[in-house]
């Protein structure tokens, strides 16, 4: 198991309501020994004017799940993970429903974590692939 402690889905979803993840209704749905999964609705908050999922919303989902994953790995009393770099390739449009992000580690180091985040539509078709690099910094 890569996590610093055992966490429940309820604990992961018990976050402040005034951040972008809450505003976009990102919800954690599964935690395994080495992956973290979350969903986000495709609705008026997350669609671009053409009626499909906005690429920036996909990136917010990817960065949210990856950043939370990093913060579950480190000793939260001493360190925190902050996004350093994120990229995404959007493979197919999504018009409605939920997108699911599955986050797995590519590298867990002392100063950086790299996460592979794959987004899927409700038919389990890959819609976006993202990679997030997180810097691990001391808490001040």
Active site residues: 63
Angle at the Cα of 56 from the Cα atoms of 53 and 58, rounded to 5 degrees: 60
The bridge status of strand 79-90 relative to strand 126-138 is antiparallel
CA dihedral of 104, 107, 108, 109, whole degrees rounded to 10: -170
| C-alpha torsion angle, residues 12, 4, 61, 132 (rounded to 10) | 170
Token couple for 129: 């692939």
For 65, the enclosing helix (H) or strand (E) is: helix 55-73
- C-alpha to C-alpha distance for 92 and 48, rounded to whole angstroms: 14
DSSP three-state, residue 68 = helix
């Amino acid at each position: 198991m890569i996590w610093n402690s055992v966490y429940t889905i309820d604990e992961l979803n018990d976050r402040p309501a005034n951040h972008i993840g809450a505003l976009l209704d990102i919800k954690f749905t599964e935690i395994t020994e080495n992956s973290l999964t979350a969903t986000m609705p495709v609705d008026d908050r997350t669609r671009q004017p053409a009626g499909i999922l906005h690429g920036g919303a996909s990136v917010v989902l990817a960065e949210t799940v990856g950043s939370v994953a990093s913060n579950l790995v480190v000793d939260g009393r001493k360190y925190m993970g902050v996004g350093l770099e994120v990229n995404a390739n959007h493979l197919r449009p999504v018009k409605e429903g939920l997108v699911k992000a599955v986050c797995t580690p590519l590298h867990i180091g002392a100063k950086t974590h790299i996460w592979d985040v794959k987004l899927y539509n409700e038919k389990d078709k890959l819609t976006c692939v993202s990679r997030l690099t997180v810097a691990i910094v001391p808490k001040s």
